[in-house]
Amino acid sequence: MKAHVTIMPKPSVLDPQGAAAAEAMKHLGLESIGRVRIGKVVEIELPNGVDEARLHEVARDLLSNPVIEDYTIAITAGA
């Protein structure tokens, strides 16, 4: 089992990294793109299954900062 925690900056937070990446993409010829946001993915192997509530706690307390970020969790079976 694996969990993928995706952490993105909240829409209200300025993301200068995303803006810089968007500029670079336009420079490479991708002119018709909209807003670009950059977040992070934390991949967690769960060999013994998962307590989802606990996972959400960890996602809220450690992996993300709820003041500036939102997170989602996707759990997949298999390696």
Select from 11, 16, 29, 78 the one that contacts other proteins (CB under 8 A). Answer: 16
- Contact indicator for 1, 79 with CB cutoff of 8 Å: no
C-beta of 14 vs 77, nearer to other proteins: 14
C-beta of 16 vs 78, nearer to other proteins: 16
β-pairing verdict for 40-45 and 69-76: unpaired
Select from 14, 28, 53, 77 the one that contacts other proteins (CB under 8 A). Answer: 14
Angle at 32 between CA 26 and CA 33, to 5 degrees: 75
* Residue 76 binds other proteins (CB under 8 A): no
